[in-house]
Amino acid sequence: MGKFWQKLSGWVFCFGFLFIYSTGAIGAESYVTDRVDIQFRSGPGINYRLIGTLTSGTPVELKKEQSGWCLVVPKEGPFAGKEGWVHKRHITSSPPSNKDLVQLTEENKTLKTTIAQYENEVASLKQTIASLEKALEESKTQYAKLQTEAADFLSLKQTHDSLQKNIASLKEERDRLQEESRKAKNSERIRWFLTGAGVLFCGWIIGIITGRSQRRKNYTYYWK
């Protein structure tokens, strides 16, 4: 007798487990199946008051099951947040096809919007890249021009430095020649001065000698 009850308890447990998990986990989000209008009643049976109807795809919270009926709380629609009973066959743990279609349509719209935004960003980035490439080419041209100008500048600087050295050398030569010219002029003046002094001295001597000779002749004539 004890073995019989043990076997019976095991079968009851197995059927209960399969019954629970075939419908869905209690408290998990479930959906009304693909029927247009589902009766939403105040109790687990058709003899209970009809509260209203739930449209296909309405998300509900599954509270419990009883006699093939499910106590649910709709999350959307006019009966959102209110408890009621629907037949178990109208409840599924996955979104119905029309719910999937709506969700996929919305996701597709979102993806299209995102893609359009990305395309606009890509176009803007392409314009930015084109502008940067143009600026880069202009920079390369300016850089090449600067290199040429720099080479010319270095050449001019070398020429300028060489001319500066030549000018400095010429200035030194000019100063030397001016000094020599000044010394030569001074020497010439001294020479002419000495020559003039010598001439005057010679004239003075000649005058003295001439004067003496004249006095001597006069003295001789007087005695005669």
22 CA to centre of own chain: 58
**pLDDT tens digits, residue range 92-116?**
887 766 555 566 567 667 867 887 8
Measured CA to CA, the distance from residue 41 to residue 47 in angstroms comes to 9
Question: Considering only 27-31, 142-146, 209-213, which range has the smallest mean pLDDT?
Answer: 27-31
Note the pLDDT of residue 18: 40
Q: If DSSP codes are grouped into helix, strand and coil, which group holds residue 91?
A: strand
Distance CA 149, CA 42 (A): 95
If you average pLDDT over residues 166-181, what whole number do you get?
86
Tokens of 133: 């490439």
C-alpha–C-alpha distance, residues 12 and 224, integer Å: 205
30 contact partners, CB below 8 Å, separation of at least 6: 24, 59, 60, 61, 62, 70, 72, 91, 92, 93
Q: Is 162 helix (H, G, I), strand (E, B) or coil?
A: helix
Instruction: Provide the token pair at 38.
Output: 């589902």
Q: Quick one: pLDDT band at residue 79, thresholds 50, 70, 90?
A: very high
pLDDT of 183: 81
Q: Which residue has the tokens 């419990």?
A: 64
The DSSP H or E segment spanning 85 is strand 84-87
Locate tokens 């004890």: which residue?
A: 2
What is the structure's pLDDT at 156? 83
pLDDT tier at 14 (50, 70, 90 boundaries)? very low
174 CB neighbour count, 10 Å cutoff? 10
Verdict on whether the full-model pTM lies above 0.85: no
CA atoms within 13 A on the CB side of 3: 0
Question: Which residue(s) pair with 72 in the sheet?
Answer: 62, 84
Q: Please state the φ and ψ torsions of residue 47, each to the nearest 5 degrees.
A: -80, -5
Nearest residue to 86 (alpha-carbon basis) of 127, 48, 122: 48
Please, which residues bridge with residue 54 across strands? 38
Whether pLDDT at 158 is above 90: no
- The residue-averaged pLDDT of 171-200 equals 80
